[in-house]
Amino acid sequence: MLSNHLQNGIETAKMAWSRLPNADDEATDAVGIAKKSDESSVESLDYEVIENFAYWEEQAQRGKLYVWYYVVVKWFFALLIGIGTGLAAVFINLSVENFAGWKFELTFWLIQKSYVVGFLVYLLINLVLVYSSVCIITQFAPAAAGSGIPEIKGYLNGVDIHGILLFRTLIGKVFGSIGSVGGGLALGKEGPLVHTGACIASLLGQVTCGCAAGVAAAFRAPVGGVLFALEEVTSWWRSQLMWRVFFTSAVVAVVVRTAMGWCGSGICGHFGSGGFIIWDISGAQDDYSFEELLPMAVIGVIGGLLGALFNQLTFHIAYWRRNFLHKRGNRVKIYEACLVSLITSLISFGLPLLRKCTPCPEYDPKSGIECPRAPGMYGNYVNFYCSKDKEYNDLATLFFNTQDDAIRNLFSAKTSHEFSAQSLLTFLVMFYTLAVVTFGTAVPAGQFVPGIMIGSTYGRLVGIFVVNFYKKLNIEEGTYALLGAASFLGGSMRMTMSLCVIMVEITNNLKLLPLIMLVLLISKAVGDAFNEGLYEEQARLKNIPLLGSRPVYEMRRMTAKEACGRRVISFPRVVKVADVVSILQSNKHNGFPVIDHTRSGETLVIGLMLRSHLLVLLQSKADFQHSPLPSDSRGSRFIRHSLNEFVKPASSKGMSIDDIHLSSDDLEMYIDLAPFLNPSPYIVPEDMSLTKVYNLFRQLGLRHIFVVPRPSHVIGLITRKDLLIEENEDSGTMELQSTSVRARHRDKRLVTSSEESNSERPLLNGLLVRHPSA
């Protein structure tokens, strides 16, 4: 044993890490319960947690019961997240529907007397609602502006944006979106609901569940929610998580359904007649002929083009806002939002006034749709500024309505010829412009509903031509509106399967699935030819570094060595406090290799030390020692910290080295890093293709990879059969199916000695022979 202390160091670290009851993936659960981290967060995947030795030792003894306890707690939290998100969604919808309902009721009542008074009141109500929303955001919760989806994506991709999951943000998001959506702006509440769900879930440490719950609540689409979380949000996934996420989504669906059933008797005011987007078009065409595929493909192309244009325009406007307008302070943000509100009110009230009314069609008892609709009701055929009773204003049917109702009208079946091509075109141009301008104001804003609005407008426009051209009875304009909506969302957000399922779930019609797929396929392909998806563009704008699902082409020509540009700063195992402080001050690296020396002078990498853990050690001072020699690693006296101290809070800036003040005596002391380091970070040889490194990094959700020299020899080769160890519930021993580990254990000494032909590292030999006893 040449260098006992080096060996001890590795041993110590290894013991500490391996004694975690679920060292590699459930350390995170304990953290989840401590409400401080997220299980899907990359944070936990890199095992950047250190355990309290005695605590875990005790837990490990409790065994099965303990595992069960955690499973139950996890599921209980998933239940709570579902209930919480469902209730938040109901609250938002209830409020929005009531504000909007009162607003339109009052306005319709007033315009019977005077259009000017009606307009002024309408404008004022909108302004107040938007003003309150923008004030909440600017004064109280700045992180709640926008949709929040790019930030959540970033968080689950491993990037922590300041303040994004705070309780304050949750409150701001809920009340802010009530104001902005109730105030009639061209934005939706679906994106903010996803953020809301994530905020609620982050309180309980399961952000992925929250995302899915948000989508499930927004669209009442539990399957769509799971797929959204799977496809769009997380970068890491496993099937156990999927099932829990699905459970959460289903709980949301039950909560929302229960609440709506409860409100069905009319005790919730205007809520119940509108609200949750579920457009049941079961009365629509559920068959299609091959001639229709061409116009549907045209819808797909339009969706791709308009969607890509939308991304491009919003990117540029948001860039300008971010770098010029919003730098001038909160007052500008407030003025801006109010101005947008005024313009929106003006357009939505004013444009229908210019439109001539259309005589009502004959009443069709089959459809049961009245024309004009009864006052105070929702639905098609709005009588607005019409000279006769039996007339309706098709532009007002779209504009002078909540967006949910407008979409319902656009999707409606058995209402052919309700909208004129001219009105649809006017609406399309105006609403598209409004949506682009509104995007990026300092209010909570989703893009789903505006996207559906835009898409269903040109979809219905195409539908009008198809109905006229093919003169078939079973073609419904509403179906084309639905396909248009899918195409615009596909062209803008570039989601695929989740969007498809969401569209199917909100229309409750599985038969349209192939058609929705067709337009999505086309619109996504067309959009991809121009730019990235909306969320990726916005994330780029916000400097959120998202790792895409596949490496870029250039990486094929690069090696691992070429990618790591920073100079690496290593720590020795026992380091002087003053050195730690000066190194932490001199750079911003988050991880440091720890290197120890054998007595023969050789070096050996013994692990990875995190900045955050170093800061904890510096702050507590409990592990400072006078001697520059390693502390004795035998026994369990050496960790004086509890697990929680080392766990990074889910969303915070954490400590900074500047917050730590040490006396000059302290600076002269030493720390033995061995118990606190991660003893086996992932390594890659220096000339590995960067593509491979990228896959490793992303698939495992890592934060640090060591690039090391090519190894001098191979100790062993692990293949599938080596990993087929059967779980044995009764004892700590293990059984192998094809090759017995137990037999191998017996042969260990033999194997080790025969393999270790390279005798340059005697200490490793000793280490490895001794380890099984640990």
- The residues in 540-579 that bind a copy of itself, with binding defined as CB under 8 A, are 540, 543, 545, 547, 549-568, 570
Rounded least distance, CB 735 to a copy of itself, Å: 9
Rounded least distance, CB 464 to a copy of itself, Å: 26
CB nearer to a copy of itself: give 3 or 457: 3
Binding to a copy of itself (CB under 8 A) within 4-23 occurs at 10, 14, 17-18, 20, 22-23
Q: Residue from 4, 240, 323, 600 that binds a copy of itself (CB under 8 A)?
A: 240
Total of residues contacting a copy of itself (CB under 8 A): 145
Rounded least distance, CB 697 to a copy of itself, Å: 6
CB nearer to a copy of itself: give 246 or 271: 246
Quick check: 364 binds a copy of itself (CB under 8 A)?
no
CB nearer to a copy of itself: give 365 or 709: 709
Q: Residue from 605, 655, 660, 667 that binds a copy of itself (CB under 8 A)?
A: 605
Q: Is the four-CA dihedral 507, 509, 511, 513 of positive or negative sign?
A: positive
User: What is the DSSP code string of 630-658?
Assistant: PPP-SSSTT----HHHHSPPTTS----GG
Region binding a copy of itself by CB under 8 A among candidate stretches 413-421, 464-472, 585-593, 648-656 = 585-593
Q: Residue from 239, 265, 387, 664 that binds a copy of itself (CB under 8 A)?
A: 239
User: What is the DSSP code string of 498-559?
Assistant: HHHHHHHHHHT-GGGHHHHHHHHHHHHHHHHTT---HHHHHHHHTT--PPPSS--GGGGG-B
Q: Is residue 215 within 8 Å of 188, Cβ to Cβ?
A: no
Quick check: 322 binds a copy of itself (CB under 8 A)?
no
Query: Token pair of 383, please?
Result: 């009588």
What residues contact 282, with CB distance under 8 A and at least 6 apart? 508, 509
Binding to a copy of itself (CB under 8 A) within 156-215 occurs at 158-159
Rounded least distance, CB 685 to a copy of itself, Å: 6
Rounded least distance, CB 458 to a copy of itself, Å: 23
Q: What angle do CA 681, 685, 689 make, to 5 degrees?
A: 115
CA 223 to chain CA centroid, Å, is 16
Quick check: 696 binds a copy of itself (CB under 8 A)?
yes
Quick check: 499 binds a copy of itself (CB under 8 A)?
no
CB nearer to a copy of itself: give 456 or 509: 509
Binding to a copy of itself (CB under 8 A) within 713-742 occurs at 713-728, 732-734, 737-739, 741
Q: Residue from 320, 328, 768, 770 that binds a copy of itself (CB under 8 A)?
A: 768
CB nearer to a copy of itself: give 635 or 716: 716
Rounded CA separation 181/403 (Å)? 9
Burial 89-127 (b: 16+ CB within 10 A, else e): bbebbbbbbbbbbebbeebbebbeeeeeebbebbbebbb
Quick check: 694 binds a copy of itself (CB under 8 A)?
yes
Quick check: 531 binds a copy of itself (CB under 8 A)?
no
Q: Is residue 220 within 8 Å of 254, Cβ to Cβ?
A: no
DSSP lists the bridge partners of residue 140 as: none
Side-chain half-sphere exposure of 34, counting CA atoms within 13 A: 20
CB nearer to a copy of itself: give 421 or 510: 510
Which candidate, 487, 47, 499, places its Cα nearest to that of 298? 487
Q: Which residue's entry shows tokens 């109901």?
A: 90
Region binding a copy of itself by CB under 8 A among candidate stretches 302-310, 421-429, 440-448, 698-706 = 698-706
Quick check: 368 binds a copy of itself (CB under 8 A)?
no
Q: Residue from 253, 369, 436, 618 that binds a copy of itself (CB under 8 A)?
A: 253
Q: Is the four-CA dihedral 740, 699, 447, 101 of positive or negative sign?
A: positive
Binding to a copy of itself (CB under 8 A) within 432-491 occurs at none
Q: Residue from 474, 508, 586, 600 that binds a copy of itself (CB under 8 A)?
A: 508
DSSP lists the bridge partners of residue 603 as: 597
CB nearer to a copy of itself: give 14 or 270: 14
Binding to a copy of itself (CB under 8 A) within 661-680 occurs at 679-680
Q: Which residue's entry shows tokens 């050996």?
A: 604
Quick check: 373 binds a copy of itself (CB under 8 A)?
no
Neighbouring CB atoms inside 10 A of 634's CB total 11
Quick check: 310 binds a copy of itself (CB under 8 A)?
no
Side-chain half-sphere exposure of 481, counting CA atoms within 13 A: 30
Rounded CA separation 527/533 (Å)? 8
Quick check: 761 binds a copy of itself (CB under 8 A)?
yes
The alpha carbon torsion through 220, 223, 226, 230 (nearest 10 deg) reads -130
Which candidate, 716, 710, 712, places its Cα nearest to that of 768? 716
CB nearer to a copy of itself: give 600 or 627: 600
Rounded least distance, CB 425 to a copy of itself, Å: 32
Q: Is residue 162 within 8 Å of 653, Cβ to Cβ?
A: yes
Q: In 273-374, which ranges are continuous DSSP H helix? A: 293-323, 330-354
Quick check: 695 binds a copy of itself (CB under 8 A)?
yes
Rounded least distance, CB 250 to a copy of itself, Å: 5
Rounded least distance, CB 761 to a copy of itself, Å: 6
